[in-house]
A and B are shown apart, each in its own frame.
Chain A
């Protein structure tokens, strides 16, 4: 065990807070989705990783030499598939349409590989060889964030609308379906972008360290804290102070009455899921310059998000703030003090809190 000087403690606290900021972005979405829909979304961390890769590719398109063409082809293919589905289901039953599309896919796959020696599959999932980009600026980063967030939110809405909504309140089925999506997102990312470990670059004004009283504090970590504080404030005000937030809370507390007074709870649930995915994606893009982006990151960070919501309690924003700060401090100080035991250091307080209050500090059960 090493002893820490006062300066070390200050720097570690700063690091812990910035780590907590990313954890908050990740865990608040998880908590929000659970609080409203009673769904544990195991694909949540996959959105985190996926958004990191999206940002990476966006940087490559703006600042590198990557072309947008594969993505346009991909979008057109998916759109054609969608319209084919809509067209077919007008005339024949959905299961026959699915069978027909599957057969058509197999035929096209064989044709493509025989005649053009080309995988038909790659129209839908193209390989995009990205590489680390040296040059990045602040507007570019913001644009990347917006694009990654939009795509991640759309994915979230898609999963909610076409899969989770049909399952009802069956926890096991929800878990297996969301973990299925986690595998698909993870392995799809591995297929598309390869298995290298990428570090997103930090844009210009943020890639320096501020020197305060002899301590060198990286500015990017400060930026992460600012983003998390802004998001937390926006979430809090949005849920507690706006009409939209009131509608949301009404849909949570009593869905039947909410429907009775004309609230479309389906739309509410879909937007909640989109917001959750969006929060995870924010964490992924901002944290990509901190954790890096690599396959397996999602399942590595998922236990941390769980620790946050277990400590703070699912479905509570204040709990997510508190939980992420606790986990951030334990993780950083634990790693500094007992490097081999940091995993255990994280889960010990979790166990104690569960022993005292099984639904977390602010949990709703």
Chain B
């Protein structure tokens, strides 16, 4: 499968980094442990957006919608006692040690349904229209979370008491939950990696590069984009479930425009179409947020300034994200042997 030697080395490096992360994290303090877990959760979100932005070339500014749907679904099925049948089903699954599977299946089905519906509305739009319509749809989800207080508790948010156990293994303390997150993260990374290397993923790159040509070759552009949109939505839903389980609290500010924009920025910062780049972006943004929030409470102001400075510098020096920076230093002047065309 990994015919390319450089590719094999890259995969090994990435795996080595995550093994090292798994070894080092138990020795860190509690603050750092939860920071690493948070980075992984947002890493899943950013990677899922990379499927759309980097590989398919669709800039979605509403990716927090599926994240939000899944995280709210998780919180609701775990706490809503007056919805007897969902709550009873959850209790039953939890007593068997399968509570997490129940949550994942249920929340991902809901997220998939929303992604399928929203994708159906949005995929026809092109360019900036796509951006605007995804943003608007994400604001609909935010509006539901904020206004439909019978279900979502409105502005107060939903407090989740405790995590369900995994086959009787308690995930309550930081370390077991970190390993669980790492496992989920690696599964997602592996699945997405296989996805982008599959013929389907290659077709998406083809659509990003030259849509008309792919159409001429007989590919169904709409269907490919639509499926990519849904798959990205599902992975975003995984991140949403993990977020509720991690934070044990979900409220409307978690899923507003700033989250979608942050995810977009993580991708742009790390390097689009690299999968691992967005994780680096997530690490940078989340660490900055945690450390800056200690000193000043004006995080959005600083975030805005970081956006502007990084994007301006990146564009002025012609660098595509941090991974782009690497490759720029690696190959100082690769002479192009064949003319473009």
* CB–CB A166/B305 < 8 A: no
Are A171 and B315 also in contact (CB < 8 A) when A179-B307, A183-B307, A187-B298 are? Answer: no
* CB–CB B61/A175 < 8 A: yes
Look across to chain A and name the residue whose beta carbon is closest to the beta carbon of B313: A95
Look across to chain A and name the residue whose beta carbon is closest to the beta carbon of B150: A340
Whether a CB of chain A sits under 8 angstroms from the CB of B311 is: yes
Chain A, 160-187, CB within 8 A of any chain B CB: 163, 166-168, 170-173, 175-177, 179-184, 186-187
Instruction: Count chain A residues whose beta carbon lies closer than 8 angstroms to a beta carbon of B.
Output: 45
Q: B43-62 interface mask toward A, CB cutoff 8 Å, 1 = contact, 0 = none?
A: 00000000001000001010
Main secondary structure of the interface of A (DSSP, over half): helix
A44 to chain B: closest CB distance in Å? Answer: 11
Look across to chain B and name the residue whose beta carbon is closest to the beta carbon of A307: B136
Whether a CB of chain B sits under 8 angstroms from the CB of A153 is: no
Are A171 and B61 also in contact (CB < 8 A) when A176-B268, A184-B304 are? Answer: no
**Chain A residues positioned under 8 Å from B306 (CB to CB):** 180
* CB–CB A350/B128 < 8 A: no
Whether a CB of chain B sits under 8 angstroms from the CB of A314 is: yes
* CB–CB A302/B300 < 8 A: no
Residue from B121, B300, B304, B315 with most neighbouring chain A CB atoms (10 Å): B304
Chain A, 206-235, CB within 8 A of any chain B CB: none
**B148 partner, pick from A34, A38, A307, A340, beta carbons under 8 A:** A340
* CB–CB A175/B121 < 8 A: no
**Chain B residues positioned under 8 Å from A186 (CB to CB):** 300
A355 to chain B: closest CB distance in Å? Answer: 6
**A350 partner, pick from B127, B133, B256, beta carbons under 8 A:** B133
* CB–CB A299/B140 < 8 A: no
Whether a CB of chain B sits under 8 angstroms from the CB of A191 is: yes
Whether a CB of chain A sits under 8 angstroms from the CB of B175 is: no
Total contacts A to B, CB within 8 angstroms?
130
Cα distance, A255 to B28, chains bound together (Å): 58
* CB–CB B132/A40 < 8 A: yes
Cα distance, A347 to B147, chains bound together (Å): 16
**Chain B residues positioned under 8 Å from A177 (CB to CB):** 307-308, 311-312
**B59 partner, pick from A175, A302, A306, A350, beta carbons under 8 A:** A175
Q: A286-312 interface mask toward B, CB cutoff 8 Å, 1 = contact, 0 = none?
A: 000000000000011011001101100
* CB–CB B127/A171 < 8 A: yes
**B129 partner, pick from A182, A343, A347, A354, beta carbons under 8 A:** A354
* CB–CB A175/B300 < 8 A: no
Whether a CB of chain A sits under 8 angstroms from the CB of B35 is: no
* CB–CB A176/B264 < 8 A: yes
A112 to chain B: closest CB distance in Å? Answer: 15
A317 to chain B: closest CB distance in Å? Answer: 18
Q: B323-337 interface mask toward A, CB cutoff 8 Å, 1 = contact, 0 = none?
A: 000000000000000
**Chain B residues positioned under 8 Å from A309 (CB to CB):** 132
A182 to chain B: closest CB distance in Å? Answer: 7
**Chain B residues positioned under 8 Å from A182 (CB to CB):** 304
**A303 partner, pick from B59, B135, B148, B300, beta carbons under 8 A:** B135
Cα distance, A163 to B311, chains bound together (Å): 10
**Chain A residues positioned under 8 Å from B258 (CB to CB):** 183
**Chain B residues positioned under 8 Å from A300 (CB to CB):** 139
**Chain B residues positioned under 8 Å from A187 (CB to CB):** 298-301, 304
Cα distance, A300 to B278, chains bound together (Å): 28
Cα distance, A299 to B124, chains bound together (Å): 24
* CB–CB B127/A176 < 8 A: no
Cα distance, A57 to B148, chains bound together (Å): 34
Cα distance, A281 to B36, chains bound together (Å): 42
* CB–CB A347/B137 < 8 A: yes
Look across to chain A and name the residue whose beta carbon is closest to the beta carbon of B309: A180
Q: B228-271 interface mask toward A, CB cutoff 8 Å, 1 = contact, 0 = none?
A: 00000000000000000000000000001110010011001000
Q: A336-349 interface mask toward B, CB cutoff 8 Å, 1 = contact, 0 = none?
A: 00001001100100
Cα distance, A166 to B304, chains bound together (Å): 18
Residue from A180, A188, A347 with most neighbouring chain B CB atoms (10 Å): A180
Cα distance, A182 to B53, chains bound together (Å): 22
Chain B, 154-182, CB within 8 A of any chain A CB: none
* CB–CB A183/B300 < 8 A: yes
**Chain A residues positioned under 8 Å from B139 (CB to CB):** 299-300, 302-303, 343
A121 to chain B: closest CB distance in Å? Answer: 9
* CB–CB B308/A166 < 8 A: no
* CB–CB A351/B121 < 8 A: yes
A236 to chain B: closest CB distance in Å? Answer: 24
A95 to chain B: closest CB distance in Å? Answer: 10
* CB–CB A176/B148 < 8 A: no
* CB–CB B311/A173 < 8 A: yes
Cα distance, A235 to B150, chains bound together (Å): 45
**Chain A residues positioned under 8 Å from B128 (CB to CB):** 34, 38, 40, 171, 314
Cα distance, A141 to B147, chains bound together (Å): 33
A331 to chain B: closest CB distance in Å? Answer: 12
Whether a CB of chain A sits under 8 angstroms from the CB of B20 is: no
Cα distance, A315 to B144, chains bound together (Å): 31
**B124 partner, pick from A42, A184, A344, A354, beta carbons under 8 A:** A354
**Chain B residues positioned under 8 Å from A176 (CB to CB):** 261, 264-265, 268, 307, 311
Look across to chain A and name the residue whose beta carbon is closest to the beta carbon of B261: A179
**Chain A residues positioned under 8 Å from B96 (CB to CB):** none
Whether a CB of chain A sits under 8 angstroms from the CB of B143 is: yes
**Chain A residues positioned under 8 Å from B316 (CB to CB):** 166
| 20 A-B interface contacts by CB (under 8 A) | A40-B131, A163-B308, A163-B312, A166-B315, A167-B311, A171-B128, A173-B268, A176-B265, A179-B261, A180-B303, A181-B308, A184-B300, A184-B301, A299-B256, A302-B139, A303-B136, A310-B136, A350-B133, A354-B121, A355-B121
Please list the 4 inter-chain residue pairs (A to B) with the smallest Cβ-Cβ separation, ordered nearest first.
A180-B307, A183-B304, A184-B304, A187-B300
